A and B are shown apart, each in its own frame.
Chain A
Amino acid sequence: MKLRLNLIGGFLFSVLGAYGNAQSLSVQLNDGEGNPISDAVIEILLPDEIRSEYQPGADATVDQLDKEFVPNISAIVSGNSIFFPNSDDILHHVYSFSPTVSFNIPLYGKGNSDQYSQTFNSVGVVEIGCNVHDWMLAYIYVAETSLSAISNDIGLAILETVPSGTFELRIWHSRLRDNSMAMTHTIEFFDGEQANLSYTLELKRGRRIRRSPSSNRTRYR
């Protein structure tokens, strides 16, 4: 994937030439107490003229395993699809009533589950739930381009090939106090320079539906 992105980036740069060589961006996200924040999404918002160089992206998969969505956060490029296979032995009912997309895939099981997918054509965050298991929740970050990354366990999100120039950096997290997509920072990237940024995010206390204890029973996985 990384390789592919690089290749694409190189190709785009050579065509347009207006923007400098690609360089990498690493963003360290911490909360107010210095704890790393994982599962945050960073996205470089490109101007229209070069946006297409970073489109389309690849389809992704959100599995349903042990009555959880895996991964519970995914970033895709608008226009791509997500497959919702079911790895459990029971049925799931995937739905979303998000403003950008509303869909539901009524109860389905393990067999042929690869065929269940949803294409996301609008930029934004889509919340995916399972109507059978209230606690199952996955976020789909539908980005404009492939220049998006998810912070890892140590709060680090890395983009390998960011063109030089001045762009907006958007940071999103499901528990951001202002959960609109408006948290942006303007960043100037210079040729060949590694950009190391760090931000402190203020997160809300998360409230999630507790997984019912009986659902941990292994029999119906």
Chain B
Amino acid sequence: MLAFGSFRSRLSFFLLCLLTPVLGGIFYYVNRNNIEYTEETINSYLELGADVFDFTRAQQAETLQAITNSLTWGFGFRAAFASNDPATLFGASLNVLDRSIGKADMLMIVDLNDNVVIDTSLQGYTKLSGAWLSLIEEADANEEGLAEAIVAIDGDPFQLIALPLYLPRQVAWIIGGFALDQNFVERVKETIVSEVSIIRRSDGSNLEVVASTLSTARQQILAEQMPINWLAVDSLQRISLEGEEFTTLLRSLFGSSSDELQVLAIIQRSYDENNENVVQFRTLLIEFYAVIIAISLIAVVFLSRSITQPLAKLASAVQKIEEGEYGKPVEVNSQDEIGDLANSVNSMARGLAEKEKVRDLLGKVVSQQIAEQLLNNPVELGGEEKIVTILFSDIKGFTSFCEGLRPQEVLVQLNQVLSTISNIVEKHNGVVDKFQGDAVMALFGAPIYSEFDATNAMSAALEIIDALEIGDSRLRACIGISTGLVVAGNLGSSNRLNYSVIGDTVNLSARLESLTRLYNVTNIVSEASRDAAPNYFYMELDEVCVAGKSQAIKIFQLVGLSDQMSAEKLAMSAAFAAALKAYRAQNWRLAQRLFSQLAASCDNETLPKVFLERIESFQITPPAEGWDGVYIFGKK
């Protein structure tokens, strides 16, 4: 299959494929017929010319006969003949020739015994022989006493006629003749409008042009060429003379091939001259074809432009759409299929623009991953069970931070903080599920699960905490992290839904976050989360039963990466663990002492005080039998 770089070249190629054989075919047949017609015309002209030549010759012979008859039968000539005086008769004969106005060139008088009485051509014959005698014998055998022949006189062919001289009975033969000379061929040429030459060959090979309407140079060529082209008489052939083609017809003038003199008339018509019209017509045809092809190609250019230009526009538009530019609609002012296509592209662009807008908006309203999830999967209610780590973050001190600020400024500040948190979450492959006031709920493991979900959540938590500490000192992050089975999916109604997760883990995260205030820590991590992210160092805070939950869980504070722990922190953690142990063993005094020491030494005195308050309370009202150290929170 041919490959075309452009629609235009393809169209041009097919047009040429279509036009060329059609035009070529027409050209071939028209040209062939023209040439045939020309040849037929020339041939028929030549044959006609040859007939006219014969006719002219016969006519002239008849004229010769008539003149000779009339003149020699005059009483004066009769008397001259009867005078039997050769000189008188010679003079009378010359007089006859004068009166013939050139129709007769020679006169001969022969008696009935073939003796030459008078010969104006002075050949010196006394008695006839050869062709001359044959002529007389032929005349004698003729009822009218007439005969004609072509005989050479001094090498030049003469048309002769013989007729009787009556006085009143036949007393002699009169032979009249005219030369087949230049005058003759020129006279014939005037009639037949063809070149006429008379050639003779006396002994079979030597050719001589006797008279010709051709130029001397061409006569020479003709004489050289004729032995080669000596075809049958009356057949047509083509002979080239100085580059010009002549259709040539030979017409024999000699009586029989045994005659010693063979004279032929050559009638020629310029093929090139006759062919001129054909050549002109052919040129015209070629020019006409060139114009047709040119017009067609121009038409193709315009046609293809009418297609390719809008196509190019469409292509660049589609390319821009590919690059994300939906703004400019394609402008194609046609009502055809291309117009339809342009309209389709425009609607597609609008659709894509809307979709992009939606995607963009979605990405802002929901997290990028959720947006992808929503866009790439069929949006339907329901979900799947997944192990997800949920990070709940709140900003402690935001309310007091907002005091005295206008709502607009509050919003700016809040957005700034939330953006920071959101960015950190996304940086650690988390997904912001929702914002609730100054709180952020982030998912790690939904919609896309990863084995590092919990680890990511931990590092995100540490970064959020750090980020807020670096910022305004009045603000502190409070983070609750828990890991567990949730249902992730689209929640809500069929026409308004929301990708989210539901389950105890979600509630637990929220509870843990709210507990941070109680313990005055930056974060609280559930036991499951701690187990899922073992690379971090945690300090156990307590074992509690959160509101609405019957099962007790251990809660931990995320301190940092295990391998980056300072000795101070480790010591503090160990002291806290020892205090917690005494507390759980209901060794109130030891526990009171250890927590008091911690309250005095560590940064967070609130934490030991929580336990010191509980111990005072337990000292007044001891816990129930079999208390295992779990603290039950009664309210949310």
Contacts and interface: CB of A to CB of B under 8 A. Distances in A.
A134 B171 CA distance: 14
B201 interface: no
A134 B81 CA distance: 16
A102 B168 contact: no
Range class of the B interface residue count:
10 to 19
A137 interface: yes
B320 to A, nearest CB: 110
A93 interface: yes
A131 interface: yes
A82 to B, nearest CB: 16
Most B-side CB within 10 Å, residue of A93, A128, A207? A207
Nearest to A205: B143
Interface string A118-155: 00000000011111001011000000000000000000
Interface string B54-84: 0000000000000000000101001101100
Contacts of B79: 97
B167 A134 contact: no
A184 to B, nearest CB: 22
Nearest to B145: A207
B608 interface: no
A144 B305 CA distance: 125
A174 B167 CA distance: 14
Given A97-B81, A97-B82, A207-B145, A128 B168 contact: yes
B164 A130 contact: no
Interface string A91-103: 0010101000010
B73 to A, nearest CB: 6
A24 B348 CA distance: 150
Contacts of B75: 93, 95, 104, 131
A97 B73 CA distance: 13
Interface residues of A, number: 17
B170 interface: yes
B169 interface: yes
Nearest to A136: B168
B449 interface: no
B633 interface: no
A132 B300 CA distance: 92
A7 B493 CA distance: 182
A3 interface: no
A207 B170 contact: yes
B167 A127 contact: yes
A94 to B, nearest CB: 10
A15 interface: no
B167 A97 contact: yes
A127 B145 contact: no
Given A93-B75, A97-B81, A129 B167 contact: yes
Given A97-B81, A131-B75, A207 B143 contact: yes
A209 interface: yes
A181 to B, nearest CB: 15
Given A93-B75, A97-B81, A97-B82, A207 B164 contact: yes
A174 B79 CA distance: 22
A127 B167 CA distance: 8
Interface in B75-113: 75, 78-79, 81-82
A95 B78 CA distance: 10
Contacts of A127: 167-169
Q: What 5 A-B pairs have minimum CB-CB distances, sorted nearest first?
A: A129-B168, A97-B82, A131-B75, A137-B168, A127-B169
25 contacts: A93-B75, A95-B75, A95-B78, A95-B168, A97-B78, A97-B82, A97-B167, A102-B82, A104-B75, A127-B167, A127-B168, A127-B169, A128-B168, A129-B166, A129-B167, A131-B75, A134-B166, A134-B168, A137-B168, A137-B169, A174-B169, A207-B144, A207-B145, A207-B164, A209-B168
Given A134-B73, A207-B143, 5 more contacts: A97-B81, A127-B168, A131-B75, A136-B168, A207-B145
